[in-house]
Structure 1
């Protein structure tokens, strides 16, 4: 007879903790989707129900797209996030390569400064950035939303950790073949660090797609508003918030991030774990 093996109590506790944590994280998203398909009369009922008695999803999602230029806001988000990510990779990759593979005076001190920069919230720099943007005349433009984020301490740190896992012999062989340092970065290191780039890309896009604080300061034009700032347009000071279309708009804004993460989760985990090996 085969002996049935039961999971250890520690494993049961770990899985239970993971399930509870996942439920707590997913609960607001499930409630958001539930409200997005409910009519106004059911949203404020005292009784709890996830599925509405009267399905009102078509009306709410139609209002979400028509009451405000939501698709324009999402296009702005794509432009801003794609530009930030491209510039961050262009700037952070050579910097990380220098910290990982090139010996020079003050390298450890420079890396320590980058680690300190990781501890500083970006909101601390809002006032100096606003004054600088006003001085050079980029406020209320795409540039105001993009350039403050071009240098990412987290990106430099993550790429540096991944580049450290690549054998030095690869770099030495490339130098013997006549490659310059920049060519080594773009032709050898970047292709090998694709999992780290995907992991960083998810962090970067999610962070700047959901950013509200800096866009609220930097832009006033409706044609430049990113998705979180555009969602505020559903707020009505006289009639109150229109929660059905508001939740529908929030669902539309969050959906691309969820889909992108589900498609890239394998590379996301590989990118983070590979950089932590060494």
Structure 2
């Protein structure tokens, strides 16, 4: 019993230390966002300021375009997620529950696509969009991420666990394959959809690489791109409002994850039970 308690104590200690290292930058960002300027550039390290400088948040929200950047980010991630699910779910259902020639080959190509980073295809996509005039539009931010090998893989793993008899019974009742996908398979896959949504929204909300290439219009800036404008044009070395802007752009992701963490864990766990 004592060995078991000792093992758990060591495990808890290691997890706590790891969590502290991961959370430290976020805690420091939050601390700087409420500090007055004269307490930021000092040799003494204090997480709590002598007085809370809430004007940093007021400045970030009223004197810059942070609300516009947040709206642009919402439009982008929502558009990407909707189209990803619209295409990934039927593809995953076909790979899991339908028999057709070359199914194993197609699934192998999906697995291979997981190994190809987006940066490899960024230049050809940029050149293509330049030719057809899609740069500096929301479509330029959305279209490249609609095909998602990860989404197809995750949903396929979930659908593979569902009994085939369920779908056979639906076919006997006269339901079309499209109705089966959206009225039976997708509602059952909501845990996987929640997990995928968190991955997708987090990745694209925080993405700076592609928005920096595909757009030059400040009116289309997403939150990470917008913070660059904020840093250069508005605040300069005024770190307090800059960190307040970083907190504002990070908060929606943290809140969304906390609200959906149970479904997220369930979706990840169920997605890896069957190959």
Q: Taking structure 2 as the reference length, what is the TM-score of the superposition?
A: 0.95
Matching of residue 35 in structure 1 with residue 35 in structure 2: no
Cα drift, residue 188 of structure 1: 0.5
Cα drift, residue 240 of structure 1: 4.2
Task: Choose from 3, 15, 30 the match for 1:18.
Answer: 15
2:193 and 2:267 in contact (8 A); partners too: yes
Q: Which region of structure 1 is more displaced relative to structure 2, 235-244 or 100-109?
A: 235-244
Structure 2 CA distance for aligned equivalents of residues 187 and 264 of structure 1: 22
Task: Choose from 173, 180, 191 the match for 2:169.
Answer: 173
Cα drift, residue 262 of structure 1: 0.5
Gaps of 5+ in 1: none
Partner of 1:123: 119
Task: Choose from 202, 214, 220 the match for 1:218.
Answer: 214
Cα drift, residue 55 of structure 1: 2.0
Structure 2 CA distance for aligned equivalents of residues 96 and 241 of structure 1: 49
Matching of residue 51 in structure 1 with residue 48 in structure 2: yes
Gaps of 5+ in 2: none
Matching of residue 253 in structure 1 with residue 249 in structure 2: yes
Structure 2 CA distance for aligned equivalents of residues 9 and 54 of structure 1: 42
Task: Choose from 132, 138, 144 the match for 2:140.
Answer: 144
Aligned length: 274
1:193-221 CA distance string (max 9 Å, x none): 01100110011111111110000011111
Q: Which region of structure 1 is more displaced relative to structure 2, 233-242 or 196-205?
A: 233-242
Please report the RMSD computed on the Cα atoms of aligned residues, expressed in angstroms.
1.6
SS in 2 for 1:25: helix
1:238-257 CA distance string (max 9 Å, x none): 98432111100000000011
Structure 2 CA distance for aligned equivalents of residues 229 and 6 of structure 1: 51
Partner of 2:91: 95
